Structure 1
Amino acid sequence: MKRILVVSTTGMGDSLWGTPALRSLKKSFPGVRIDLLALPAWKSLFFENPHIDRLLEYRPQWYRQLALAARLAGHRYDHTLIFHANKDFRRMLGWLRCGTLWAHQNFDWIPPDQKTSFPDKVHGIERRLVLIEKIGARRDGPDMEIYFSPEEEKQTAAFLQENGFAPREFVYVNLGASLPHKRWHADRFEVLCRKFLEETPFGVALGGGPEERDRMHSLCARLHSPRAVSVQGRSVRLNACLIGKARMMVTTDTGPMHIAFALKVPTVALFGPTDPRDSGPFEVDDRLCTIIHAQRNGVPLSMDISGQIDYFEPIEADEVWVRARALLDSSTGLQR
């Protein structure tokens, strides 16, 4: 065996879920070259990763796929493992020169004998670990990983100092989500942030994507505290490095939640339209994570797939605050 191609061309969380399997592959086959396809948005999450030999950028548009196809056609892979992809990847199959191909998604363009099958509720990390076992690799644990350079650590330390923060002395509150119905209520975020500012010595870092810029700045202005700062505009990697320095994160089910899990940051994770069995923590120490799954009359709201209800209406700020205080106590001394 000389080369393995890994395909991971979807979201941030999906990308990070592949890191335990990538580590397992490299430790199982240290002399084998591992190439990884990743989207431009999340490619940087794999920088500095010692388990990847070549990182290739994947773009879904057909005319951009042509250049990548030419690069891939120049190599023969012993195995191609599709950790996660969308249907646009189908166009690439004719260009791949590989001995075997394995996937776990139920695409009709992948032959049944090249797909692993699972019950409905199996976490994405577990799916990827089962996939690598198909080619003889051994698991090396479920922990996700992100690696940072000394320069990134230096820049993050400077950012903290400029804002009067210190490592483990602030809470990262993530306001963002990819879709509006996956966002917790802005007024409840405000109540929670005030609790942290008034009843703990911690600062509050308000994070989110570009679409949350106005929400972050507005909340920061309303809090009107030198211990509250908006961190919008930082790169994916520098934002991840900052999350890694936090004492705690509060977030809905989003990509940054998985960054926190990877970096062993205690996390209060709010689930509304999504099921934590699918996309929540996987074998994370209970002392480092607490889940609040929105329910009504004992029924999880994630069972309603209409997208037409207020999924987070049952989750009040006081409940999140109580769970956050308990997690602060249980996680004391566990962070690196």
Structure 2
Amino acid sequence: MRSYKLDKDALVRRNQMLTAAFHQRPLQHMVRHYMLRSMSKFPYTPLPKPMNRILFIKPDHIGDMLLATPAIRAVKQADTATEIHVLAGPWAANILANYKEIDRVLTINFPGFDRNEEKTSMLAPYQYLIHVSRNLRRLNYSAAIILRPDHWWGAMLAHASGIRRRIGYNVKDVSPFLSESIPLQNEHVIQQNMRLVDTWADSAAPMDIHYTFEPSDEDRDYAASYLQHVGISKKRLLCVHPGSGSWTKLWEDEKWAAVADTLTEQFDFAVIFTGTMAEQSTVTSIKSHMRYPAFSAAGDLSLGQLAALYQHASAVLGADSGPMHLAAAVDAPTVSLFGPADPVEFKPWGDSDRQMVLTSHIGCRPCRILDWGDDPPEYHPCVRNIPVSDVLDAARRVMR
């Protein structure tokens, strides 16, 4: 699509109009709404004698899954006899292996959440739901908690599985399938999730919420040997995670290079860029703009090893992404660059002086739109407008 240069005010007005249009329900969603209302009245047979076993349904990726763990752990800690299961996508299941409070992790390919998903028929999600519900019935759950506010498919799955207590948010298309619902509030998702489980766990003040991730001893040993292998085990470490699941969240390579060079020059850091295998080209590009040497661990580390590496860092800088939540969970200081997502809901959890968030001042953020299709990226500069000087100032403030 061809782009035209717009002044700042015109760009904000344009994006606000497009955002309003994007959040309007299209005709197919309106049709689905009426269909779901009818399906919610279908009399699925409830489980006759459920066990003391709770199913948490969470289709999201790593960062959102980490933010769900305080609520999951709180239920187990309130009653250790309660069996805790989590239904997750294979893209996030591995992160749960380190939590002893979770008794079992079940994985399914949630429709609409696989980033490499191929288009299928309109009936495929419903056919898959019936298949999964038959398997879940055998596990005889006493309750299901749908952690994602708009996840109507998960709420419908709990209903079709005969689970008597189905708890989630009072959101259109979701609430008809629930036995209990709570209002969705504009607050951090960890606090939202804690409200979902207050039947089992007492309400906790933010300072009393336990948000942690414990790497295994093997992961810690690997991280230590990795630093020794590349010859920087005795240097101060700066980690940078420039990638994210959406181009709308990305900062320019040249700016990351400038930040890494400046902090290396001022503090004699060893800089390690982290990322997935697919983000190796981004890291290579950033390094090509740098004056000082840097290291790349992109594609080299498991999630546990990455967490253990972050424990060595004086600071972790990066785009709004799952690894930034992982860094906060191991108590590493972070600076996260936010654009379309709302940091009130999704910022890394912790003291704001230690887990800092930066945004630009453009008037159309947060739009909460992560995929603008073929709309030109220059029309969505919410992250790119963050100055290098702001990132440097924040990094100096959080460094340990």
Alignment TM class, shorter chain as reference:
0.7 to 0.9
Q: Which amino acid aligns with 1:33?
A: E
Say whether the 8 Å CA contact 1:46–1:146 is kept in structure 2. Answer: no
The 3 A distance-change label for structure 1 pair 290 and 109 is: closer
SS in 1 for 2:164: strand
Runs of 4+ off more than 6 Å: none
Residue 321 (str. 1) matches residue 321 (str. 2): no
2:143 aligned to which of 70, 74, 79: 79
Give unmatched runs, 5+ long, in structure 1: none
Residue 267 (str. 1) matches residue 317 (str. 2): no
Say whether the 8 Å CA contact 1:46–1:147 is kept in structure 2. Answer: no
1:312 aligned to which of 383, 392, 396: 383
Please show how residues 49-198 of structure 1 align to structure 2 within 5 Å: 49-61=99-111, 62=125, 68-84=132-148, 86-89=151-154, 92-104=157-169, 106-111=171-176, 114-119=180-185, 121-133=186-198, 135-139=199-203, 141-166=208-233, 169-198=236-265
Say whether the 8 Å CA contact 2:236–2:314 is kept in structure 1. Answer: yes
Residue 9 (str. 1) matches residue 74 (str. 2): no
Please show how residues 17-28 of structure 1 align to structure 2 within 5 Å: 17-28=67-78
Q: Which amino acid aligns with 2:360?
A: A
The structure that is strand-richer by fraction is 1
Q: How many residues align?
A: 323
The 3 A distance-change label for structure 1 pair 303 and 92 is: closer
Give the deviation of 1:94 after TM superposition: 4.8
Please name the residue that 1:301 is paired with: 365
Give the deviation of 1:252 after TM superposition: 1.9
In 1, the alpha carbon distance for the partners of 2:232 and 2:397 equals 23
Give unmatched runs, 5+ long, in structure 2: 1-50, 112-124, 373-378
SS in 2 for 1:23: helix
TM-score normalised by the chain length of structure 2: 0.74
1:241 aligned to which of 295, 308, 313: 308
Please give the per-residue CA displacement for 1:107-162, whole angstroms capped at 9, x wherever unaligned: 4143276221033x2211111100001x3322463232223222122111111111
Q: Which amino acid aligns with 1:230?
A: S
SS in 2 for 1:151: helix
Give the deviation of 1:229 after TM superposition: 0.6
In 2, the alpha carbon distance for the partners of 1:25 and 1:152 equals 27
Deviates more, 1:159-168 or 1:11-20: 159-168
Give the deviation of 1:301 after TM superposition: 3.4
Please name the residue that 2:268 is paired with: 201
Give the deviation of 1:249 after TM superposition: 0.7
How large is the Cα RMSD of the aligned pairs?
2.5
SS in 2 for 1:24: helix
Please name the residue that 2:85 is paired with: 35
In 2, the alpha carbon distance for the partners of 1:69 and 1:292 equals 42
Deviates more, 1:303-312 or 1:15-24: 303-312
Deviates more, 1:70-79 or 1:198-207: 70-79
Give the deviation of 1:14 after TM superposition: 1.4
Please name the residue that 2:353 is paired with: 287
Q: Which amino acid aligns with 2:83?
A: R
SS in 2 for 1:125: helix
Deviates more, 1:216-225 or 1:301-310: 301-310
Give the deviation of 1:45 after TM superposition: 0.7
Say whether the 8 Å CA contact 2:151–2:174 is kept in structure 1. Answer: no
TM-score normalised by the chain length of structure 1: 0.87
Give the deviation of 1:60 after TM superposition: 2.0
In 1, the alpha carbon distance for the partners of 2:275 and 2:160 equals 38
SS in 2 for 1:239: helix
In 1, the alpha carbon distance for the partners of 2:397 and 2:215 equals 30
How much identity, in percent, do the aligned residues show? 24
Please give the per-residue CA displacement for 1:24-76, whole angstroms capped at 9, x wherever unaligned: 10111111111111111111111131110111112125576666434311122
The 3 A distance-change label for structure 1 pair 236 and 301 is: same
Say whether the 8 Å CA contact 1:174–1:250 is kept in structure 2. Answer: yes
In 1, the alpha carbon distance for the partners of 2:135 and 2:367 equals 43
Give the deviation of 1:90 after TM superposition: 5.3
